[in-house]
Amino acid sequence: MILFHGTLEENIKSIKKNGLLANTKDQWLLEVVEKPVCCTSKNPVSGEGGNPSYFAYGSIKSKNQDGYLVVLDVPKDVLSSKIIAIFDNKTLDDYVRFHFFIRHEFRLIGRNLLLAMSKHREKDYYWRQLDKKISKRPAKPEDIMLLQPQEQHEYYKKLKDERYMYDFLGWKMSDEMYDFFQLLGKWQTLYEFLDLYYAKIDTEKWENFEKTAPHNNAEYWKSFYRCFLPEVSDPKLQSLSRWFSPEWLSSRKLQDFNENCQILSTSLGPEYIKGFIKITTPSGFAQPFRAHRSKSSFSQAIWKEVHSLLDEKR
């Protein structure tokens, strides 16, 4: 099976000697698989959550070096013995952006948002005036605590060219949190989500919980769900009950490969590496990739280079 991994020039010597080592330590992955992993993908331009090409060019300007795709050919039976987990890239990307990154911010303001929406609802039951109570502005340096929370990751920060702060019924929040609100689709769904989490927790229980709650976000939400696991009867809200738990992602592991999957495995030795394709230079995309403006066109050009590599090895 042909696999791809994106990297920078500084890592090529080590990869040639040692192969791809299981040393990816992204926290959102460690909380699910509980060990460092090697990340590969079946396609050179997969979804945002596992795009090998991004990791070949994402830091070029700051690193001032070339970016490469590592091309591997791993027999499927060998790969199967090394696999730790497989995730759909879109699922993984959604989890990181809409669950993992916002869980710290949500723990700070979630309950207050329910109180604010409940008060607003007394005069605007169908949320027809709520949009008028929301404003946004460009982010400022003093917003750094919200815009760079403890679990942020450089890859995802680069997905947004501009950052914004929102005022929602008097509560300040990041554009990441507001993106989550938009994901839910309707203000009523957001209200139901907040109600699901906080409506049955009285003030005394909440204050006692917060006094001893763990600082670490993973432990905080484990403790929250132990104490206040939301009771869900409505099927459409079922997936929201453990929204901030690693269990949400763990329960969505794939049993087999798809065309847009992220493969987490143990180390892959140098014997499986078929070559390296330079796709970027410090000044931009390398030839012959500069003319390709779409993902599909770029992917086709990469596959053409892959077939040339494989022909050379035969």
> What separation in angstroms does the CA of 125 have from each of 109, 114, 120, 164, 248?
22, 14, 8, 28, 31
Same-domain status, 160 and 18: no
Taken in order 254, 245, 214, 165, is the CA torsion positive or negative? Answer: positive
- Looking at the chain, the whole-number percentage of residues with pLDDT higher than 70 is 88
- Asked if 133 and 82 sit in the same domain, the reply is no
Q: How far apart are CA 273 and CA 71, in angstroms?
A: 6
CB atoms under 10 Å from CB of 76, counted, come to 9
**Domain stops at, among 250, 282, 303:** 250
Summarize the confidence of residues 99-111 as an average pLDDT. Answer: 93
Q: How many whole angstroms from its chain centre is CA 101? A: 8
β-strands 134-138, 83-88 pairing: unpaired
Query: Nearest-5° angle of CA 240, CA 130, CA 205?
Result: 45
- Single residue among 227, 250, 273 that ends a domain in this structure: 250
C-beta of residue 176 within 8 angstroms of C-beta of residue 105 = yes
Report pLDDT digits (tens) over 116-169.
999 999 999 999 999 999 999 998 877 866 655 555 555 555 556 688 999 999
Statement to judge: residues 286 and 242 lie in one domain: no
| Cβ count near 265 (within 10 Å) | 22
Cβ(184)–Cβ(190) below 8 Å: yes
Q: Are 279 and 58 in contact (CB under 8 A)?
A: no
Tell me, yes or no, whether 62 and 111 share the same domain. Answer: no
For residues 6 and 29, give the distance between their C-alpha atoms in angstroms, rounded to a whole number.
18
Domain boundary among the residues 203, 219, 250 is at: 250
Same domain? For 81 and 226 the reply is no
* Dist CA 154 CA 152 (whole Å): 7
Q: Tell me which residue has tokens 């180390």.
A: 267
Say yes or no: 201 and 120 in one domain.
yes
User: Each residue of 3-45: pLDDT tens digit?
Assistant: 999 888 999 999 999 999 999 878 899 999 999 999 999 888 7
CB 41 within 8 A of CB 254: no
Average pLDDT, the chain: 87
Whether residues 122 and 139 share a domain: the answer is: yes
CATH number at residue 46: 3.20.170.30
Give the pLDDT confidence of 259-305 residue by residue, as tens digits. 889 999 999 999 999 999 998 888 888 888 877 767 788 888 888 88
> Which residues form the domain of 133?
95-250
In a shared domain, residues 287 and 246: no
Residues 170 and 235 in one domain: yes
Distances in whole angstroms, Cα of residue 159 to Cα of each of 95, 153, 163, 171: 15, 11, 10, 25
What six digits make up the tokens of 102?
A: 């916002």
Residue 246's H or E segment, with its range, is helix 246-250
Burial (CB < 10 A; 0-12, 13-18, 19+), residue 229, is exposed
pLDDT, position 32:
93
Neighbours of 255 (CB within 10 A): 5
Is 242 found in the same domain as 132?
A: yes
Element (H, E) at 27: helix 27-33
Instruction: Say what the pLDDT of residue 227 is.
Output: 94
* 102 shares its domain with 56: no
Query: Could you tell me if 99 and 198 lie in one domain?
Result: yes
Asked whether 286 and 28 are in contact (CB, 8 A), the reply is no
pTM of the model: 0.87
User: Measured between alpha carbons, how far is 8 from 11 in angstroms, rounded to an integer?
Assistant: 6
Count: domains in the chain: 2
- pLDDT-above-90 percentage for the chain: 60
